Amino acid sequence: MSAVFIISAPSGSGKSTLVNEVRQIVSGLDFSVSYTTRAPRGSEQNGREYFFVSRPEFEEMISQDEFLEHAEVFGNYYGTARRFLHQAEANGHDLLLDIDVQGAEQIKHKLPQAVSVFILPPDRNTLEKRLRSRSQDAQEVIQLRLATATREIENYSKYDYILVNDRLEDSTEALKAILLAERQKRSGSRSPSAEPLSAEDAITLTRAELHRLNNVRERLKPILDSFRDGGREQ
């Protein structure tokens, strides 16, 4: 069975860029393009960033149980079609899901063995600057996204790994290590006679463990406080 990797993050945390980077350097990794009822933005293309469908079309897919998960966010539906998991399994690949905390909870309920990674910005002020730099949203939308991010971040403890996206290069290497380490664990569990880990594999496992939830709690305190304090200077 394919491994399923869940990647979640508040809007503006750099998740899409990070996912795109790691997809170029980790082989055998299929990506699920979500369905949505929102309109395309900027240069977005149907089938690349999202599959853009009407609300009636989406609701028909719900009625046919075609989604692994779906949710309504900011007045629009988003969902992950089951067919992507079937395709990954047929190809002998793993599946990477870029979904929000609502979708992640649904996936973990249906697929408890799925590995979840939550991506955090360094602090609230950095997230706000990133949202403003995109120049796509009005002030009230930015404030709504920040409020939503604060709520989403409170779910961090439900995830297996936490990754603070400060420098893209470092974050890409960390996410790569997590994906490869989980593959190593799955391979070892399937093969009792597996050979001892190479030095490189051992380094990968160690690097991944640095981002496991229990190993990052202390580092997360100032980040979480910045959101609870509304970005005010300390």
Q: Which of 112, 120, 134, 203 is nearest to 166 (CA)?
A: 120
Could you give all domains of the chain from N- to C-terminal order, each with its CATH number? Answer: 4-32+94-228 (3.40.50.300)
Query: Going along the chain, which residue ranges are E strands?
Result: 4-8, 29-31, 35-36, 51-52, 67-73, 76-81, 94-98, 115-120, 161-164
> What pTM did the predictor assign?
0.88
Q: What is the pLDDT of residue 70?
A: 94
Q: What is the pLDDT of residue 234?
A: 41
Residue 226 pLDDT greater than 90, yes or no: yes
- What is the token pair recorded at 72? 């309504």
Average of per-residue pLDDT values in the chain: 91
SS3 205: helix
pLDDT band at 60 (very low <50, low <70, confident <90, very high): very high
Residue written as token pair 């970005």: 231
